[in-house]
Amino acid sequence: MSQKKPARKRSKAEEICCRKPSQLLMSLLLPLVVVGGYYCPRIGFTVLGLIALFMIIASQRGRFYCGWLCPMGAFHERFLSLVSLHRPILPVFKSSWFRWLLFALMMSLMTFRLFTAWGDPKAIGGVFRSMWILSTGIAIGLGLYFKPRVWCTVCPMGSMQGISSKNTYLLTVEESCVQCKKCQKVCPISTYPGSFKQDEGPGRVPSIECLRCSNCVMNCPKKALSFQ
């Protein structure tokens, strides 16, 4: 008979010694691609490498890449947050139709541009770079007014990870949750884990709605959250 794996808890020390440094390090890739890519367009292929990396990670850890390694997300969380107005995220950013509409638009644009650049490595690298600049520009504009990681609620790359990891490393909500909403306050994308509490047995937060950052796990007063 297979034994159930113990729930995974994270400590504040783990946040300070691991997540913050990894985000600060990865955020350096943003200026490297945006500025460096101007002089050497092939640097744009870094984006392709990151896509391969997050698809591998997603198969084991869901949107862990978003919470711990994404250069854009890291920049928004660690730097943009210093000047953001932190207004609440509008409900439309949490709606499926908006997420998938944006996904279709961004993917169509990238596919079209790759098609026109096909055969020229410099031009292809330039396409990846310019798509990154476009999404970063929109994300900064939104993040200045709303919560700094508002873009992560609809990011097409995050959506790709979410749908490819539906049952992977999910955030679990135990019955001990008292629905105090503290978890929602500390969540960078305003997900409310307590709303997934079940009357009988543990509830699970959908993969696409969680960056696996552990902020809520560390701050839940009832220790009701964990990763399975």
Round to whole Å and give the CA distance between 195 and 66: 22
The count of residues interacting with ligand SF4 (CB under 6 A) is 28
Residues 101-160 that bind ligand SF4 (CB under 6 A): none
If one asks whether residue 58 binds ligand SF4 (CB under 6 A), the answer comes out as no
Please, which residue, 125 or 193, has the CB nearer to ligand SF4? Answer: 193
CB of 219 to ligand SF4, least distance (A): 7
Whether 74 contacts 50, CB under 8 Å:
no
Please, which residue, 89 or 131, has the CB nearer to ligand SF4? Answer: 89
Please, which residue, 72 or 127, has the CB nearer to ligand SF4? Answer: 72
**Phi, psi angle pair for 126, to nearest 5°:** -65, -35
CB of 61 to ligand SF4, least distance (A): 12
Please, which residue, 159 or 215, has the CB nearer to ligand SF4? Answer: 215
C-alpha pair distances (Å), 209 with each of 59, 91, 117, 138, 141: 16, 13, 34, 20, 22
Q: CA-based angle 70:75:77, to the nearest 5?
A: 95
CB of 21 to ligand SF4, least distance (A): 18
Please, which residue, 5 or 115, has the CB nearer to ligand SF4? Answer: 5
Please, which residue, 122 or 185, has the CB nearer to ligand SF4? Answer: 185
| Residue nearest ligand SF4, Cβ-based | 194
Q: Is 124 helix (H, G, I), strand (E, B) or coil?
A: helix
Residues 158-217 that bind ligand SF4 (CB under 6 A): 171, 173, 177-183, 186-189, 191, 193-194, 205, 210-216
Please, which residue, 24 or 178, has the CB nearer to ligand SF4? Answer: 178
Residues 23-42 that bind ligand SF4 (CB under 6 A): none
> SS3 sequence, 28-55?
CHHHHHHHHHHHCHHHHHHHHHHHHHHH
CB of 192 to ligand SF4, least distance (A): 7
Whether 97 contacts 103, CB under 8 Å:
no
State the distance between the two ends of the chain, measured CA to CA, in whole angstroms: 18
Closest by CA to 225, choosing from 64, 129, 109, 215, is 215
What's CA 76's distance to the chain center, in Å? 11
Which positions touch ligand SF4 (CB under 6 A)?
171, 173, 177-183, 186-189, 191, 193-194, 205, 210-216, 220, 222, 224-225
